[in-house]
Amino acid sequence: MKARILLDPVRPKVKYEQVEAILQAAGIKVSRHDADVGVVVGGDGVFSEFGRNESIPLLFVGVRSRKATGSKAYLASTYFEELPETLAEIRNGRYEVVKFRRLEATRNGRPLGEVFTDLYLQRGADSNCVRYHLRVKGKEVEVSESAIGDGVVISTRAGSTGYFSYLDKLGDGKSLKVDGYTLIGEDEIGICHILPTYTERKGSTEHPLRYTVPWGSTIGLRIDRPVDARLFGLGWKRAGVKVSTSDRLLVRPSPRTTRVIRTARSNGNGRS
């Protein structure tokens, strides 16, 4: 078996040589090109980035942080200190490969990229509220909404325990429920408005903050006024992709999937 080591290119949580030594000690060859599997070490942001691009099966390896604000690595199949034992299970064939659906995004008809976890339109640093319109078209569903707020998140099942679940963490409205989350189905796409001050749905007096639509639906987005609005979840660029009033964004299911390696040691790790 050959493995490719995948780390954050800017802020890796461990050194490449550390991972390489563990793989070699487990009898697994390291290859940068013709690998059978990818060993992704980091946090959920790193998992999301490689998960949206790689075609080989991926083992998500979390790195525990002592900092309260450090990565929680909810999507991890194992942790760095457990990696030797996990690799032994993989070498012995005691693992499974789980497929996760992806979304894809376009701007004005041109591809922007794949989405493994979530994609969100949000106001930038130099911005007031984002005024935007959202339209969903799919089998037996059509939604037309307008909103004023911080933005909107569109999520797959793999990403639904992240930003999509911020409402679950509000608890009674007076304290934070840190372990609260919602896991949507494989056949659903999640949509959640981020801290809106106003929403309006055509043909309804309801103002849903969060809901799901059937897989196969197409979601269109556009902003109504010039503002510093950005699309996040499409690459390492931490400033996001700037969006203007002339842009027409579409998010829809991708024909490609992300393959994630799970072992018996994965039980209790990850929520996907």
Look at the domain 2-93 and name its fold. Rossmann fold (3.40.50)
How many other C-beta atoms lie within 10 A of the C-beta of residue 14? 17
Tell me the per-residue pLDDT of 111-156, one tens digit each, with 9 for 90 and over: 999 999 999 999 987 778 999 999 999 988 999 999 999 999 999 9
pLDDT of 269 reads: 46
Residue 183 has pLDDT above 60, yes or no: yes
| 41 dihedral zone (left: phi>0; alpha: psi -120 to 50; beta) | beta
Sorting pLDDT into bands at 50, 70 and 90, what band is 268?
very low
What is the mean predicted confidence (pLDDT) over 96-108?
Answer: 97
What share of the chain has pLDDT > 70, as a percent?
97
Rg (CA), the chain: 20
pLDDT at 57: 97
Residue 222 has pLDDT above 90, yes or no: yes
Q: Delimit the domains of the chain by residue range.
A: 2-93, 101-255
- Does the structure show a pLDDT above 80 at 239? yes
DSSP state letter for 202: T
What global pTM score does this model have? 0.92
Contact criterion met (CB below 8 Å) for 163 and 184: no
- The pLDDT, as a whole number, for residue 29 is 95
Query: What is the rounded CA–CA span in Å between residue 165 and residue 158?
Result: 12
Residue 270: predicted pLDDT: 55
Per-residue pLDDT at 42 exceeds 80: yes
Residue 73 pLDDT: 86
Please tell me the chain's helix, strand, coil percentages from 3-state DSSP, rounded to the nearest 5: 15, 40, 45
Element (H, E) at 213: strand 210-214
Examine domains 2-93 and 101-255 and report if their fold is the same. Answer: no
Fold of the domain spanning 101-255: Tumour Suppressor Smad4 (2.60.200)
Longest dimension (CA), the chain: 63
Q: What is the mean pLDDT of residues 47-74?
A: 88
On the question of pLDDT at 267 being above 80, the answer is no
